[in-house]
Structure 1
């Protein structure tokens, strides 16, 4: 990029940021006048999502750690200090960690997965509820081998999948297994075998469900609704027949009532839907969850998070997902939603009398009541072992 082109890019970047901040200021002023006692969360989410877009578009002129354009563009810094001449760069600033702590019981490990390559990705976007190409199936099987080769991803308890055919097939390719290789009998059929249809569907044998995993279809994590037929899901009856190992009980309508020809779902609606989906995940009892979903849904949802992080962390969280790409994130809720903390030990008096730590319901009325409770618990254990 020539110096004049860099200057133009920097000027354009400044204009973008100035226009964005002016628009946000006007919106905030109106909100203060109209709704001074309400939270402005939705507007903040829109602002941060737009910030992520601008950062991505102008990454060639931005510094590594902020929207400071001085170091990468040859321009002066916002404070007016010119950059050091070539060959005399100062040492990089000392690393400063950005640490945070969240109780373990208020977190979940989420493996976000985009579907494999579909026919709509190679030019056939008018196919109803696009399915995987042969390459897409290969990608899904490769990801399955990767996931079950390491402990963090091999311990998935729940798979939440968009009800679209391409995500259902991807989930089957990852978490399914050839029935002839099943060591359990009878195997649970995850996906029925299917024949090839030219430029529409790839032939594939039936797949059984791996033990210990359950699949649930959830419409909240479907792709952004668009004008193409590829984003309109097939009838629920057809999906249930093709994927008998998937729980479709959360899908409310037989036909796709959300999709309308020629209409595009707004970005803000996708963001709200994404937040509702994450809140739903936090309410689940499982703590190790895989989500098989779509690129635009992931983009609009995840770019609202991590804008305060350093660039490498932020980009790892926010960058666009490739076909069948998986990234593992930790979802936390500082508001208190989570599962019971089974790792907690109450301590206190249990230090002096360790047995007390195992009897959380004992009401101490003196040493005699404790011994009585311990004796009752011990007798119950003996009876259970003899029965």
Structure 2
């Protein structure tokens, strides 16, 4: 019996956007990268150790994530003639203006002539991708469901080294890892931080992730990973606290600004 081959995912949080500068800037719709954010992309381009292995790049359709992918992985995009695939499931968790995507038409105008694949975004079933309702709603159940859908979509790809550029809050749902989550910052991931994961095929549906030993070593030395019970306890506590504080409720967040 042959072992099932699944890809390695190199997960990247986007570079600094204007919304990262202040709470007031959370009201900016689909904000761009700051000049410093673009410098962060240049630094990631120089330091990313698996550049020659990358054979697929996927990003949230939000402008800052697509630009992070284009700038940080420009050389491999050009050398291998890759296109950044926009995957709506990877969008951020809240319904704040800064975390809400633009219309398909605006995204298409923004990235006209650039190596970006918007074919998924244009499908009929995705026409409401940025309305933050139903499967796109800013609540834990909906976010967990689309995170799982994204993992399954990626697990079935034939490519072996996939870069996934997404958002700090969503990355905790995507990895199902809440160990370093900060309720103040909304994430434990720094801008342009990357971590690498493989699929844990021992789980029931195989659509769960486990960080590679090399990735853990690069960012946290010999720190021992938490067991499943510890992770579940932290996730439940963190999610409950975040929702009670209005993290997923835009009206309450705006009232605090």
TM-score norm. by structure 1 comes to 0.45
Matched residue, 1:133? 34
Three-state SS of the structure 1 residue aligned to 2:162 is: strand
Q: Structure 1's 254 and 279: CA in aligned 2 closer, same or farther, altered over 3 A?
A: closer
- Residue 111 (str. 1) matches residue 14 (str. 2): no
- Change over 3 Å in CA distance of 1:119–1:214 after alignment to 2: same
Q: 2:117 aligns with which of 236, 247, 259?
A: 247
CA drift at 1:304 = 5.2
Match of 2:175?
Answer: 302
- TM-fit CA distance, 1:163: 0.1
The Cα of 1:214 is off from its aligned counterpart by: 2.9
The question of 1:278 aligning with 2:165 is answered no
How large is the Cα RMSD of the aligned pairs?
2.9
> Match for residue 19 of structure 2?
120
Deviation string, structure 1 residues 313-353 (Cα, Å, up to 9, x no partner): x769xx82111101111124346879xxxxxxxxxxxxxxx
Q: Which blocks of at least 5 consecutive residues in structure 1 are unaligned?
A: 1-102, 183-207, 306-313, 339-387
Q: Partners in 2 of 1:116 and 1:337 — Cα distance?
A: 30
Q: Provide the rounded CA distance (Å) in 2 between the counterparts of 1:153 and 1:271.
A: 29
Quote the Cα distance in structure 1 between the aligned partners of 2:3 and 2:41.
31
Q: Helix, strand or coil for the counterpart of 1:291? A: strand
**In the aligned structure 2, how far is the partner of 1:212 from the partner of 1:287?**
16
Does the 8 Å contact 2:70/2:84 carry over to 1?
no
Q: How many residues align?
A: 191
Structure 2 segments unaligned to the other structure (5+ residues): 182-186, 208-257
d(CA) in 1 for partners of 2:116, 2:40: 21
Task: Show the counterpart of 1:238.
Answer: 106
Are 2:188 and 1:329 aligned?
A: no
How big is the shift at 1:209?
3.5
Question: Looking at both structures, which has the greater relative contact order when contacts are Cα pairs under 8 Å and sequence separation is at least 6?
Answer: 2
Asked if structure 2 preserves the Cα contact closer than 8 Å seen for 1:235 and 1:255, the reply is no
Instruction: For 1:257 and 1:104, locate their aligned partners in 2 and report how far apart those are by CA, in whole Å.
Output: 38
- Give the distance between the partners of 1:169 and 1:217, measured in 2 at CA: 11
Distance 2:71 2:57 in 1: 12
1:1-387 counterparts in 2 under 5 A? 105-123=4-22, 124-147=25-48, 150=49, 152-177=50-75, 209-226=78-95, 228-243=96-111, 244-251=114-121, 252=123, 253=126, 257-259=130-132, 265-303=138-176, 320-334=188-202
SS at match of 2:197: strand
Q: 1:74 matched to which residue of 2?
A: none
What is the TM-score with the length of structure 2 in the denominator?
0.65
Q: How far apart in 1 are the matches of 2:115 and 2:146?
A: 26
Contact conserved, 1:111 with 1:290, CA < 8 A, in 2? yes
State the distance in 2 between where 1:328 and 1:297 align: 16
What is the deviation of 1:108? 1.5
C-alpha offsets along residues 26-56 of structure 1, whole Å, 9 cap, x if unaligned? Answer: xxxxxxxxxxxxxxxxxxxxxxxxxxxxxxx
Change (3 A) 1:238 1:331: same
- The separation in 1 between residues aligned to 2:15 and 2:79, in whole angstroms, is 20
**1:212, distance to aligned residue in structure 2 (A):** 4.2
